Amino acid sequence: MTTLTPMLAIARITNPSGRLVASWSAKVAITAAAATTPSQVKYSSRGETTPVTMDPASAMSHTGITLAACHLISAMVFDGPIDCPHHFGGTLAQLLILTSVVDAEVLPALGLLSHTVRQIPASPASLISAPSCDLIFVDARQDLASAKSLCKILTTTGVNVPLILILTEGGLTAVSADWGVDDVILVSAGPAEADARIRLALGRQAQSAGSSKIQASGVVIDEASYSAKVHGRPLDLTFKEFELLRFLATHPSRVFTREQLLSEVWGYDYFGGTRTVDVHVRRLRAKLGDLESLIGTVRNVGYRFNVYDDDNERPALANAQ
């Protein structure tokens, strides 16, 4: 639910058979308290940058619904605040659009929704001072290469909100998993589709946030904040120590050779020797304290993460002989 300011209108749209097709709130330029034809009223939904004005018939066409006629059966002007539901249901969100054309409308469908929309230039300088948001749209309509680079910058710098790519139909063939985006949307998409993609992206993020913690044998690893605790005591880990602990904990009881750990944690382009793995395991065990036996050694093979059903009965050492 959201509160409308005075002089806003609630409009109910039906098709010729009388079935309710859409119901929304919008700023309205209206000359009478009620109208019976689309031509008597125009809607203007204004975001941070660009107003979008269309009559009900055009609005319905924009949603992708084709009607022989569209009738506005009621339009009332209120002189005080009222409560009304979100246009298509769901939660209102703070949306940020990164685009090279900030003075033009990027995704018209957003103009028909109640989400707060801000547009800023798609540049590193703008990203530093970017406002907080729930979801980011990246404009890839004109420059796919720049959009891909921007997406990679966002994902590698730890942006923790969903990314949705705005594309033309021709740009769909260029998108792949390595872009790091959560979803794509065509610039021609209607408000119902845009709202659904926003809702699903935010829902997936909420679910993943709830499952971003790994818990085993008294150790809690929070992947979202890159932190770890032992029985509530924070561990002061370096980045690679955290990555090593996380990798082993997500594969409990599985033995990895030093070469495998070097490849998985340090990467294929790391040219150091396997001695690096031994050094990090030793440091990690020291920081685990009484739980050092969680990192077990399998002689002549490698290391594994040991899981104990009862922490009070875990052995002092869990190295396989």
Quick one: pLDDT band at residue 9, thresholds 50, 70, 90? Answer: very low
The region of weakest confidence among 24-28, 140-144, 179-183 is 24-28
Q: Which of 63-67, 225-229, 263-267, 302-306 tops mean pLDDT?
A: 302-306
pLDDT at 24 over 60: no
- The encoded tokens of residue 289 equal 């304290």
CATH class of 213-313: mainly alpha
Give the H/E segment covering residue 78: none
Neighbours of 47 (CB within 10 A): 18
Quick one: pLDDT band at residue 125, thresholds 50, 70, 90? Answer: confident
Which of 39, 42, 38 has the alpha carbon at shortest distance from 28? Answer: 42
Which pLDDT value is given to residue 168?
95
Which residue would you say has higher pLDDT here, 314 or 29?
Answer: 314
Give the H/E segment covering residue 73: strand 71-77
Which pLDDT value is given to residue 103?
87
Which pLDDT value is given to residue 316?
42
Amino acid identity, position 131: P
Asked if 303 and 252 touch (Cβ cutoff 8 Å), the reply is no
Sheet holding 227-230, edge to edge: 213-216, 219-222, 227-230, 233-234
Which pLDDT value is given to residue 242?
93
Residues 246-252: what's their mean pLDDT?
Answer: 91
Which pLDDT value is given to residue 28?
32
Which pLDDT value is given to residue 268?
60
Distance, CA of 239 to CA of 303 (rounded, Å): 19
DSSP 8-state class, residue 131: P
**What percent of the chain shows pLDDT beyond 70?**
64
**What percent of the chain shows pLDDT beyond 90?**
40
Mean residue pLDDT of the chain comes to 72
Write out the residue limits of the CATH 1.10.10.10 domain(s) in the chain. 213-313
- The encoded tokens of residue 321 equal 């002989």
pLDDT at 3 over 90: no
Give the helix ranges, DSSP H, for 23-133. 56-62, 124-128
Partner residues linked to 243 by β-bridges? none
* pLDDT tens-digit map of 256-297: 999 999 888 887 656 667 889 999 999 999 999 988 999 999
Distance, CA of 55 to CA of 50 (rounded, Å): 17
pLDDT at 81 over 80: no
pLDDT at 15 over 50: no
Contacting residues for 321 by C-beta, under 8 A, at least 6 apart? 299
Asked if 13 and 22 touch (Cβ cutoff 8 Å), the reply is yes
Q: Check residue 37 and give left, alpha or beta (phi > 0: left; psi -120 to 50: alpha).
A: beta
Give the three-class secondary structure for 257: strand
Which pLDDT value is given to residue 123?
85
Quick one: pLDDT band at residue 91, thresholds 50, 70, 90? Answer: low
Give the three-class secondary structure for 255: coil
Measured CA distances, 268 to 102, 264, 295 (Å): 40, 8, 23
- The encoded tokens of residue 151 equal 């997406």
Task: Give the CATH fold of the 94-210 domain.
Answer: Rossmann fold (3.40.50)
Which pLDDT value is given to residue 11?
42
Which pLDDT value is given to residue 210?
57
Which pLDDT value is given to residue 217?
78
Which residue would you say has higher pLDDT here, 280 or 70?
Answer: 280
The region of weakest confidence among 34-48, 217-231, 283-297 is 34-48
Is the four-CA dihedral 14, 18, 21, 26 of positive or negative sign?
positive
Which residue would you say has higher pLDDT here, 270 or 314?
Answer: 270
